[in-house]
Amino acid sequence: MQILILGAAGMVGRKLAERLVRDGQLGGQTITRLILHDVIEPQRPDVSFKIDSLTSDFSIPGEAERLVASRPDVIFHLAAIVSGEAEADLDKGYRINLDGTRFLFDAIRHIGDGYRPRLVFTSSIAVFGAPFPEAIGDDFFLTPLTSYGTQKAIGELLLADYSRRGFFEGIGIRLPTICVRPGKPNKAASGFFSGIIREPLNGQEAVLPVSMDVRHSHASPRSAVNFLVHAATLDVSLVGPRRNLTMPSVSVTVAEQIEALRRIAGERYVARIRQELDPEIIRFVEGWPRRFDARRAESLGFRAESSFDEIISIYIEDELGGELPG
Amino acid sequence: MQILILGAAGMVGRKLAERLVRDGQLGGQTITRLILHDVIEPQRPDVSFKIDSLTSDFSIPGEAERLVASRPDVIFHLAAIVSGEAEADLDKGYRINLDGTRFLFDAIRHIGDGYRPRLVFTSSIAVFGAPFPEAIGDDFFLTPLTSYGTQKAIGELLLADYSRRGFFEGIGIRLPTICVRPGKPNKAASGFFSGIIREPLNGQEAVLPVSMDVRHSHASPRSAVNFLVHAATLDVSLVGPRRNLTMPSVSVTVAEQIEALRRIAGERYVARIRQELDPEIIRFVEGWPRRFDARRAESLGFRAESSFDEIISIYIEDELGGELPG
């Protein structure tokens, strides 16, 4: 089995590649070749089977054709210009997130000849726009309030139409906020949700820019990879024409996140969180969804963590070697 | 005031042009120039102010720029490849309905310099896909089951994003089935909804291919034009970021349509309807929406007919000179 990952240099793409390398198989089929693609060179895990690491811009006409020419059985399309950049640079966002996605879909279609790969597309909860119901169901309408969300919503529509026409077996998964993100603090407005856990565990101070009652939904990077693997292997006949699914997540308040940190790590770590309200971030967060009703994805076998404690434990296991640093 | 109509040779476009010519103004502002565009030459009404009739394919790069170069104050974008053709010819449907729409939106954006026209886009109830709730609300999700519906849904998303970014003041209106369509019988699967009224009134036999309890939603061509004119003149600050509105309509069964024909015209006309069930059309119709909850559009001042009797009367007034033929 041959697998292509677009966006393989990103955090989720990298973890997906590591998982596939570790498993050596997907859905019971032995992996014979893994093609890792990104606009910057993806890391190349060291394994027995063939790994190709490709660097290019898939929104340049002809590039997508090259990527699918070897007819990969499963394609993970994780490539995207993220929210802030897509808002700042309209042309770039539409070029990568819309044109690139369409080039990829059309490249698959043009192969024809019975070629019909599984295509897993990472969408985003940014397809939804406030005001929201208390819990956002799968059937809540698409009214994004960012260009990124618009582009992801368009990707979802194309995915469903091309799947309906039989060009590929598409599954779109709307990822919740991924927490705890490994690595350095970043400037994303949502960064603090990970930061207030990650920084204390790494002996650093974290700033909490919002009030303790802010509610948000999370899943671990490990769950994100599980979602992708499950989407690549589930029986699409169970999904029907509505191909885009909101993934399960754990909905907690910031206070509950901090309580979980206290239970898992202790007061000493919690003491490293300093609240410093930031009116701009507070305003952003007000427009974000708080809770999802993901019963459809759950009934199809997608699973996230069942508590925020579990999310913290996974971070400690996967990123800190299972041990609490001082 | 300068007005551009794309898709001016279609039934609704033609009626819109006639209405604007008759009124001589839009929203209180005198019309100084009307630009009628289509891929075939639009009819050119005879009036005092300047009318340009243009023929081209607006999905050819550069064409859209030419169309908006004179900076029209109001743009009606009615141009589309219809449902059946978009399904039969995937490339053509995406080229006109998606690329063409995007070229138009970008051509407006690239003028910049404070140019911010009103843009009225005709979407369609085809953005919705079965299974449906009993009444489809504005907040029902977009899960089209045709490429045409997919392309219209993408147009809606682009319209909302470009409006949010301030490039134009966009309003998308989802037209219900337009009834009674004037002209010859056509092969569209939904054609019988008009045919069972139009043909009897014109002294011809009509075939009813479905059962009498089939329910569907209708508005007259006159209402379609009213919707467009209202969308071009309403206060967009009342609409907010959710720019796409399901238009009001009259939901009736076929039996109720025929009862209305009996009341308005008499038994002699009803006798010209012959039922001949068509399994293929029955199957199509099962997947169509039956009723809409258009309270949002209604609260913004959009009005359709209040009964099917009224819809028939409008056909007789507007197409038959107000008199019942033999």
User: Is B246 within 8 Å of chain A by CB?
Assistant: no
Q: How many CB pairs under 8 A join A and B?
A: 56
Chain B: closest CA distance from residue A114 (Å) = 18
Pick the CATH number of A191-217+249-292+306-319 from 1.10.150.20, 3.40.50.261, 3.30.450.20, 3.90.25.10: 3.90.25.10
Q: Where do you find CATH 3.40.50.720 in chain A?
A: 2-176+220-246
Let me know: does A59 contact A6? Beta carbons within 8 Å. Answer: no
User: Is A257 within 8 Å of chain B by CB?
Assistant: no
Residues 6+ apart with CB under 8 A from A238: A300
Range with the poorest average pLDDT among A23-27, B153-157, B183-187 = B183-187
Contact between B165 and A242 using a beta-carbon 8 Å cutoff? no
Q: Where do you find CATH 3.90.25.10 in chain A?
A: 191-217+249-292+306-319
**The pLDDT of residue A254 is above 80:** yes
Contact between B161 and A150 using a beta-carbon 8 Å cutoff? yes
Closest Cβ–Cβ partner in B145, B157, B158 for A164? B145
Pick the CATH number of A2-176+220-246 from 1.10.10.350, 3.40.50.720, 3.20.20.80, 3.40.190.10: 3.40.50.720
| Total Cβ atoms within 10 A of residue B321 | 8
**The pLDDT of residue A188 is above 80:** no
**The pLDDT of residue B46 is above 80:** no
**The pLDDT of residue B188 is above 80:** no
Q: Residue B193 and residue B226: Cα distance in Å, rounded?
A: 21
Is residue A115 flagged as an active site residue? no
Complex confidence, ipTM: 0.94
Residues 6+ apart with CB under 8 A from B309: B260, B263, B264
**The pLDDT of residue A2 is above 90:** yes
Closest Cβ–Cβ partner in A129, A141, A165 for B142? A141
Q: What is the pLDDT of residues B290-311, one digit of tens each?
A: 999 999 999 999 999 999 999 9
Mean pLDDT of A111-118: 96
- The whole-number pLDDT of residue A84 equals 87
**The pLDDT of residue B205 is above 90:** yes
Residue B102's SS3 state is helix
**The pLDDT of residue A241 is above 90:** yes
In this structure, which topology does domain B2-175+221-246 adopt according to CATH? Rossmann fold (3.40.50)
Confidence of residue A94 (pLDDT cuts 50, 70, 90): very high
Q: Residue A151 and residue A99: Cα distance in Å, rounded?
A: 9
Q: What is the pLDDT of residues B127-155, one digit of tens each?
A: 999 999 889 988 889 999 999 999 999 99
Q: Residue B104 and residue B222: Cα distance in Å, rounded?
A: 26
- The whole-number pLDDT of residue A243 equals 96
- The whole-number pLDDT of residue A107 equals 98
Secondary structure of chain A in HEC code, one letter for each residue: CEEEEECCCCHHHHHHHHHHHHHCEECCEECCEEEEEECCCCCCCCCCCEEEEEECCCCCCCHHHHHHCCCCCEEEECCCCCHHHHHHCHHHHHHHHHHHHHHHHHHHHHHCCCCCCEEEEEEEHHHCCCCCCCCEECCECCCCCCHHHHHHHHHHHHHHHHHHCCCCEEEEEEECEECCCCCCCCCCCCHHHHHHHHHHHCCCCEEECCCCCCEEEEECHHHHHHHHHHHHHCCHHHCCCCCEEECCCEEEEHHHHHHHHHHHCCHHHHCCEEECCCHHHHHHHHCCCCCEECHHHHHCCCCCCCCHHHHHHHHHHHHCCCCCCC
Tokens 């929201």 found at: A132
Q: Which of A157, A117, A160 is nearest to A4 (CA)?
A: A117
Mean pLDDT of B209-218: 96
User: Is A110 within 8 Å of chain B by CB?
Assistant: no
Q: Residue B244: closest CA among chain A residues belongs to which residue?
A: A143
User: Is A111 within 8 Å of chain B by CB?
Assistant: no
